[in-house]
């Protein structure tokens, strides 16, 4: 069943209502790995809402191109208080129709909570001018982020 704009707006409102008003510290590490920490419940819920929207909007170009929705998605994508919950909202912008937000997403690239998702979105947006910003991620300690950086660079490196 398709999703309506009103249903998306209701889901986004739900996500915004559970995002804390201030940035909370990271939780304790998982299994002794200092790089990966436990998730707050709100992070998981925000992520799930974004992913629910993404799965339904994926085949609906009219809604994907909706500027009002794009603005709302970028608002959550930039809200650091949502922590890793922002990942799915960044992926909601991973379409060529959203390429006008490439520089806004680039400002989130230095955030370890979303860095790989930003590179993914930039690649899918066809935002080809950020090779120098993506290059350092070829050395990421996280394999999928290294792979995403490599895909981006291979796609857009003209040299």
pLDDT (tens digit per residue) in 21-45: 999 999 988 876 667 889 999 999 9
The architecture that CATH gives domain 5-156 is: Alpha Horseshoe (1.25)
pLDDT (tens digit per residue) in 97-154: 999 999 999 999 999 999 999 999 999 999 999 999 999 999 999 999 999 999 999 9
pLDDT of residue 32: 67
Global pTM exceeds 0.85: yes
pLDDT of residue 37: 87
158 burial class (0-12, 13-18, 19+ CB within 10 angstroms)? Answer: exposed
pLDDT tops 60 at residue 159: no
Q: What percentage of the chain's residues is helix, strand, coil (to nearest 5)?
A: 65, 5, 30
């Amino acid at each position: 069943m398709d999703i309506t704009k009103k249903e998306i707006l209701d889901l986004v409102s739900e996500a915004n209502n559970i995002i804390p008003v201030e940035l909370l510290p990271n939780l304790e590490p998982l299994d002794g790995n200092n790089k990966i920490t436990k998730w707050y419940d709100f992070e998981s819920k925000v992520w799930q809402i974004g992913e629910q929207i993404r799965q339904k909007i994926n085949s609906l170009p009219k809604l994907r191109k909706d500027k009002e929705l794009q603005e709302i998605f970028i608002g959550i994508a930039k809200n650091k208080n949502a922590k890793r919950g922002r990942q799915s909202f960044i992926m909601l912008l991973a379409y060529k129709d959203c390429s006008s937000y490439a520089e806004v997403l680039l400002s989130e690239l230095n955030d370890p909570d979303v860095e790989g998702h930003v590179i993914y979105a930039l690649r899918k947006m066809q935002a080809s001018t950020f090779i120098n910003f993506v290059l350092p991620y070829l050395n990421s300690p996280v394999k999928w982020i290294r792979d995403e950086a490599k895909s981006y660079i291979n796609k857009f490196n003209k040299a």
